[in-house]
Structure 1
Amino acid sequence: MTSQIHDALIHVMIVAASADSAITERELTRITALIERLPVFDGFDKGRLTQVANQCADVLNGPDGLDRVLDEAIAALPAKLQDTAYALAVEVTAVDLHLEQEELRFLEMLRDKLSLDRLTTAAIEVAARARHRKLPG
């Protein structure tokens, strides 16, 4: 069961990274760092990351790929990890410091599929922007 949860969270991050049709090196680095550092990924075999990412890409490239990946990921997550999934998606999209229209639409779609209130999602978004902000100049 833990493996399914890990895979679901990684699938959400992969889809978030690819929402603007290109996964950047910064996004891949962020995904790896999140997996290595966050307690929710304790016990995840990091050697499986490429396999999990490829599984996600296979489903994503199939019929109704985006909806299918998200629906399967959300179904695998306990309700208490839905905010975590959203936070991971926001974290990956925020790494570039500028969200493209496709990324904003993806986050909106994810919000609609998750059982999260708007206040929670807004707080997650503001916190991510604050974490990624750079000094002016």
Structure 2
Amino acid sequence: MQTRTSITRIVLTDDDVDDQFFFQMALRQSGEKAELHVFDNGILLLEALIKGDTALPDVIFMDYNMPCKNAVQCMEELRQHQHLQHIPVIILTTGMSPAEMEKVYQKGATACIRKPHDLSSLVQLIKDVLANKLTAREPIFCL
């Protein structure tokens, strides 16, 4: 993996505090230089990014099933704003139907990935995404 000297800005949008903690722990263990911003739901994410309350992230990890606005609704709104269209969005899910997956890709998701259930898998996922292995804007679904 190529060594980066700059800090990667990551956004995690997930309503589950346990999943938030799990992600933060995995990010620390990954050894990646990263600044993490966590949002509890899609509305807070969109408000911050659209209004410019937070620096634009290099990548967004987003839970598929969230209250207020789910991933499809968030993707739809994100991609309406030109300054947000380039940001890779990795959808994390405990499961989705092929129709749901197709819809999220149609709205501009970079990848749909089943949420890892163990820390080492999540650490590897973070490393792969930050090494640009999963941001090719091609449909990817890992089970």
Normalising by the residue count of structure 2, what TM-score does the alignment of the two structures yield? 0.34
Q: Which has the higher contact order (CA 8 A, sep 6+)?
A: 1
Q: Higher helix fraction: Structure 1 or Structure 2?
A: 1
TM-score, normalised via structure 1 length: 0.35
Greater share of strand residues, 1 or 2? Answer: 2
